Amino acid sequence: MHTTSWSHTAWQTALPVYEAILQLPFVRELADGTLSRERFNRYIGQDSLYINQYCKILAHIASRLADFADTEAFLSFAADGVAVEKALHSLYIGQRPTEMSPACLFYTSLLHAQATENVAIEAAAILPCFWIYLEVGLHIVKTQADPASNPYSDWIATYSDPAFAQSTRRAIEICDRLAANTDPGTRQRMTEIFLQCARQEWLFWHSAYTDLRLPV
């Protein structure tokens, strides 16, 4: 009997969010190279703060996984992947911010809040950051008119790179295995947190574009 994978269910659940992300002015202008440097640097600055927390969460998940190969994979995600992203950030930003935007704080707090949940749920929470970035990167590569003249070509190349795709597939595979070895209630919670974090991806880009701040 064919069984639908957890990741397929999770992606289908979050598909309307992904489609909304593709329509964001930030993503559309990034793809055609017209995004202002101010907006892009605001995004990169907040992303650098996000990544500092994200790598700690990846390492925490690694420490909780029972399979050594999975632990090794998550430690690799935390080390190699984050190093690549930080190198990319250095191309675009000088003075880094010290205070998180409301969107960045909301997203990282949501991820940290999964630390005491089943490790399958914590792993599902980090997956949209892999998967949505890959899909956005691949979408831009397929649809952009003149990649050579795009000032954000390095960013686009990073998130459409085969090595990043391989890491994303590995993360999906681990989550699917964790889902298959847990109970239906935990799988449902995995899907719910995947959807919540996909929405945070939308908010993160929207926040950078609009300079969304607390009014007080």
Least confidently predicted of 13-22, 46-55, 172-181: 46-55
Stretch 93-102: mean pLDDT, rounded? 85
Residue with tokens 């010290």: 98
Task: Give this prediction's pTM.
Answer: 0.94
Structure letter (DSSP) for residue 143: H
Q: Render 15-81 in DSSP notation, one character per residue.
A: HHHHHHHHTSHHHHHHHHT---HHHHHHHHHHHHHHHHHHHHHHHHHHHH-SSHHHHHHHHHIIIII
pLDDT at position 1: 46
pLDDT at position 83: 79
pLDDT at position 97: 86
The CATH architecture of the domain made up of 14-144+152-210 is Up-down Bundle (1.20)
Stretch 88-99: mean pLDDT, rounded? 78
The one-letter amino acid at 8: H
Residue with tokens 């990034």: 30
Predicted confidence (pLDDT) at residue 22 exceeds the cutoff of 70: yes
Query: In percent, how much of the chain has pLDDT > 70?
Result: 98
pLDDT at position 90: 77
Structure letter (DSSP) for residue 98: S
Structure letter (DSSP) for residue 117: S
Q: Estimate to the nearest angstrom the gap between the alpha carbon of 194 and the chain centroid.
A: 11
Helix, strand or coil for residue 104? helix
Give CA–CA dist 206/166, Å, rounded. 28
Helix, strand or coil for residue 155? helix
Q: What is the number of alpha carbons within 13 Å of residue 158 lying toward its C-beta?
A: 17
Predicted confidence (pLDDT) at residue 2 exceeds the cutoff of 60: no
pLDDT, averaged across the chain: 93
Give CA–CA dist 107/146, Å, rounded. 33
Q: What is the number of alpha carbons within 13 Å of residue 99 lying toward its C-beta?
A: 4
pLDDT at position 80: 74
Cα–Cα distances in angstroms (integers) from residue 185 to residues 49, 108, 118, 188, 190, in the given order: 33, 24, 11, 5, 9
Least confidently predicted of 46-50, 55-59, 198-202: 46-50
Give CA–CA dist 48/52, Å, rounded. 6
Closest CA to 6 of 119, 185, 172, 117: 172
Predicted confidence (pLDDT) at residue 146 exceeds the cutoff of 90: no
